[in-house]
């Protein structure tokens, strides 16, 4: 899993990277969280204040750190994401969450990422305004960001969906999945 080392030449300490996950109690986010936790990742799951979904308890039991955060507050998001090596967004909801909320999240969190840090933008949707247009809009207004490939080109199991300019789009029924989109955004300077 993602790690970085902090040390002098004689004494090397490996510190696990923190992966922040917004939307961890939704269907896609919960699957991402389970996969990360099963691989030994350190996951900080951001949830809305007062969230009582059973997934919160399940994530805590699996070892995730649960942080309640107001997704409309840049200050709260900044504090909740401090120290993250990677931020994953898999929030779900209506237009205010998917389009406006994701835009706020992207814009608020981008300055926190270290150069080389990555933001996984994922939605359970096939709508362009929630997917490709959102990722492309972010890339257009953020000169120090680029979209990178997720899968190894030679591994068909990881190359699902249709390639878009900013990510990949899976349509309902493709690969036995519902429709969703992802883009990996990397900070380059």
Question: pLDDT truncated to tens, each residue of the chain (189 aa)?
Answer: 444 444 445 566 667 789 999 999 998 899 999 999 999 999 999 999 999 999 999 999 999 999 999 988 878 888 898 888 888 888 877 777 778 878 888 887 888 888 998 888 877 778 888 889 989 999 999 999 999 876 555 555 555 778 888 888 888 887 777 788 888 999 998
Q: What is the pLDDT of residue 158?
A: 57
- In the three-class reduction of DSSP (H, G, I as helix; E, B as strand; rest coil), residue 42 is classed as strand
Gap between the Cα atoms of 141 and 145, Å rounded: 9
Q: What is the pLDDT of residue 2?
A: 47
Supply the pTM of this predicted model: 0.67
Gap between the Cα atoms of 157 and 154, Å rounded: 9
- In the three-class reduction of DSSP (H, G, I as helix; E, B as strand; rest coil), residue 12 is classed as strand
**Extents of the domains making up the chain:** 3-187
Q: What is the pLDDT of residue 30?
A: 95
Q: Up-side HSE of residue 24: CA atoms within 13 Å toward CB? A: 33
Pairing verdict, β 3-7 and 12-16: antiparallel
Q: What is the pLDDT of residue 1?
A: 47
Residue 96 per-residue DSSP state:
I
Phi, psi of 36 (to 5 degrees): -65, -45
Phi, psi of 154 (to 5 degrees): -95, 5
Class of domain 3-187: alpha beta
Q: Give residue 82's Cα distance to chain centre.
A: 15
């Amino acid at each position: 899993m993602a790690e970085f080392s902090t040390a002098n030449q004689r004494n090397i300490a490996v510190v696990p990277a923190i992966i922040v996950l917004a939307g961890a109690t939704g269907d896609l986010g919960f699957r991402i969280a389970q996969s990360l936790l099963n691989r030994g990742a350190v996951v900080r799951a951001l949830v809305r204040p007062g969230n009582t979904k059973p997934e919160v308890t399940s994530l805590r039991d699996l070892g995730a750190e649960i942080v309640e955060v107001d997704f409309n507050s840049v200050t709260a998001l900044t504090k909740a994401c401090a120290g993250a090596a990677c931020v994953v967004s898999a929030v779900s909801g209506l237009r205010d969450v998917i389009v406006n909320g994701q835009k706020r999240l992207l814009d608020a969190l981008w300055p926190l990422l270290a150069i080389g840090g990555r933001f996984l933008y994922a939605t359970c949707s096939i709508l362009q305004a929630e997917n490709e247009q959102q990722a492309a809009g972010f890339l257009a207004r953020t000169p120090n960001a680029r979209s990178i490939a997720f899968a190894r080109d030679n591994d068909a199991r990881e190359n699902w969906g249709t390639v878009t300019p900013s990510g990949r789009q899976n349509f309902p029924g493709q690969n036995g999945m519902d429709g969703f989109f992802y883009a990996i955004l990397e900070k380059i300077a």
